[in-house]
Amino acid sequence: MRHWLGLGWLTGPIFGKELRVSSRRRRNYVLRFVYLVLLLVFISVVWCNLDLSARSPAAMRYRMAQAGTQVITMIVVFQFVALPLLAVAMLSTSISEEISHRTLGGLMSTPITSAQIVWGKLLSRVFQLMLVAGISVPILAFLRMFGGVPWLFILSSLCVTLTMVLFAGALSLFFSIGRRQAHGVILRTLFVLILLFGILPGIFILMRQFRAYGFIDTGFPQWVLNSLGGFVTWLSPFSQMYYLVDGVLSPRAGSGRGAVFGWIGWAANCLMMLWLTGGLLALSIRKVRRVALSQAVGQLDQTADGRWRLFKQQAETPSEVSAIRRVRGACVVWKELRSPLIQGGKKMAWIGFGAAAVVQAAMYVMYSQQSLLKESYTHMLCVSLFLVIGLLGSIFQSATTITSEKETQSWPILLSTPLSDWQILLGKAFGTFRRCLPVWIFLLIHMVLFTALGTIHPAAMPIMAGIIIWVVVFLSGSGLYFSVQCKKTSSAVICNLALILLIWGILPGVAWVLCLFGPYQSLLNSVSFANPLVQAFIVMESLAGQEGVQRSLADIQFSGIGPPWAFWTALRLYGGAYLCVGLALMVMAKRRLRKRVF
């Protein structure tokens, strides 16, 4: 009985080994520190904006119960969002580091099984996250004495959060088997999570609403769309957490549909998430065994883009000698363009470019059939899509341009050439922009085409050009700075991505929490306007569509900003700030270019 309860049969010695190794890693302590700081900030923001003054003891008890409810729900929601993200980051190198150190093949020569490797890696990381989450348990127990929150809410929210952490961690572990770089694993994991729990429910909800209001004919009966939308919504842990929180904050509103989905459906949702996690772990166990045996017999190789490739013959066949290519123009830019945005050579690049053009044309045809090209929200969606792809490309490409040289040991060779620091740095920055240029070309085609067709105001094109210019300068400066500072590509990418999330995600989130407890709407508008997606969204909402094209510049009213002069002033201020910060980061990167060579 002790053997089965100890879970040693499931994880083997991997669980204890991972706990000992993680206790010596600085990254885990940094993650815990950041988690505690953010949790303290959110609790302080909510607590400072509560009105606890009352004239009678009954009113005081009511206000204390209300304060306890709001703080507890905030802690629960914060943990639900933060812990899965930490699980994705901590498990992004769980298997790939064993492959890189060539220890995975050696583990297969021991009595340790592939199942113990996978379960040990997963449970050791999840155990660390549960220790972090356990810090808030005394706070929850203390605040519950104020009343207003049942224990069933804490139990159900903990189960939904735990199953979400297990699924996100298992998905990150699965992708780490085939990729060496952590940022690639994190990107793929976040994309799948957003696709499953964000995009798919949103598509079904939009189809159901459009079908109900008669905007489009989807070809499916209404009951089919309602059933599929309800199932996909029920499958999403975010929907379950929403119903749970809504049932506590609004008991009367949560007594109907929210009660069914919040108090009964969460158990079935947890079972479904556990079933999906088990399926991912089964695939991971099978894949780990295959990769480990291939590494043990010398049939595992790594490609140039960081993926692991299996080959049948142990001896490599000599590759064909290609002709020597002459360097044209700036040598650093020429070298950067040898690694395009789409890997696989010119043929694959043209195939990818053609496929994207076909998808864009098909999207326009579909919108034209439904008479949606004259609506402003159609252009808001298209411009936001192109802008997101371009921003992600700039974030990741700029952060990998120097660290990739360090990892391949070619950075000291480049610094020993007669090239100056500015030639190297500006060449890297221009090469990054040139690799992401196809994405901006698609955005330019969209703006020029529909400006000529009369559905986008001509003033929108220079505004969008200015937004792209200063955001690209800012992202290039931050990416190059972190690429100079860090030794590994994954560290530089994570730092650059964390900076963007802080400015465009966490700060607006804090301002939004303040708006729930006080008149801070102007602060939320100012902080949110720093996001280029919000800027583009406001521009296209005001300058696209039948109504936007007919307006003059003096009559334009930008939503959330006010009159035109306020918009232009805010746009110039944020644009100048982005340009100054980006150039300052480039100067700082230039000063440290030769200080951390190895």
Q: Which of 18-32, 124-138, 447-461 has the lowest mean pLDDT?
A: 18-32
Tell me: pLDDT of 588 over 90: yes
Residues in Cβ contact with 415 at an 8 Å cutoff, skipping those fewer than 6 apart: 424, 593, 594, 597
CB atoms within 10 A of CB 50: 16
Q: Which of 242-246, 254-258, 268-272 has the lowest mean pLDDT?
A: 254-258
**Which tokens hold the place of 212?**
């109900």
Q: Please, which residues bridge with residue 309 across strands?
A: 301
Q: What is the pLDDT of residues 17-47, one digit of tens each?
A: 878 877 777 777 777 787 778 778 777 777 7
Rounded to an integer, what distance in angstroms lies between the CA atom of residue 95 and that of residue 399? 23
Mean pLDDT of the chain: 77
Of 385 and 474, the one with more pLDDT: 474
pLDDT of residue 7: 63
Residues in Cβ contact with 428 at an 8 Å cutoff, skipping those fewer than 6 apart: 332, 336, 398, 401, 402, 480
pLDDT of residue 157: 87
Rounded to an integer, what distance in angstroms lies between the CA atom of residue 492 and that of residue 476? 12
Averaged pLDDT for residues 165-191: 84
State the DSSP code for 196: I
Q: What is the pLDDT of residues 341-393, one digit of tens each?
A: 555 456 656 666 676 677 677 777 766 766 677 777 778 888 888 888 888 88
Tell me: pLDDT of 580 over 90: yes
Averaged pLDDT for residues 470-475: 92
pLDDT of residue 260: 43
Q: Which of 17-31, 290-304, 305-319 has the lowest mean pLDDT?
A: 305-319
Averaged pLDDT for residues 70-86: 82
State the DSSP code for 326: P
pLDDT of residue 8: 65
Query: Between 26-48 and 114-133, two packed helices, what is the crossing angle to 10 degrees?
Result: 30
The torsion region of residue 456 among left (phi > 0), alpha (psi -120 to 50) and beta comes to beta
Rounded to an integer, what distance in angstroms lies between the CA atom of residue 419 and that of residue 405? 16
Sheet strands (E) in 213-350:
300-302, 308-310
pLDDT of residue 587: 92
Q: Which of 106-120, 323-337, 520-534 has the lowest mean pLDDT?
A: 323-337
Q: What is the pLDDT of residues 548-577, one digit of tens each?
A: 677 666 666 655 566 677 777 888 899 999
Rounded to an integer, what distance in angstroms lies between the CA atom of residue 62 and that of residue 48? 17
pLDDT of residue 481: 92
Tell me: pLDDT of 328 over 70: yes
pLDDT of residue 228: 66
pLDDT of residue 258: 44
Q: Which of 61-70, 216-225, 356-365 has the lowest mean pLDDT?
A: 216-225
Rounded to an integer, what distance in angstroms lies between the CA atom of residue 212 and that of residue 575? 42
Percent of the chain with pLDDT over 90: 8
CA 475 to each of CA 18, 25, 66, 400, 422: distance values in angstroms, whole numbers, following the listed order: 35, 29, 43, 12, 17
Q: What is the dihedral of CA 24, 27, 31, 32, to 10 degrees?
A: 20
Averaged pLDDT for residues 190-219: 69
Q: What is the pLDDT of residues 91-112, one digit of tens each?
A: 887 888 778 777 877 777 788 8
The torsion region of residue 23 among left (phi > 0), alpha (psi -120 to 50) and beta comes to alpha
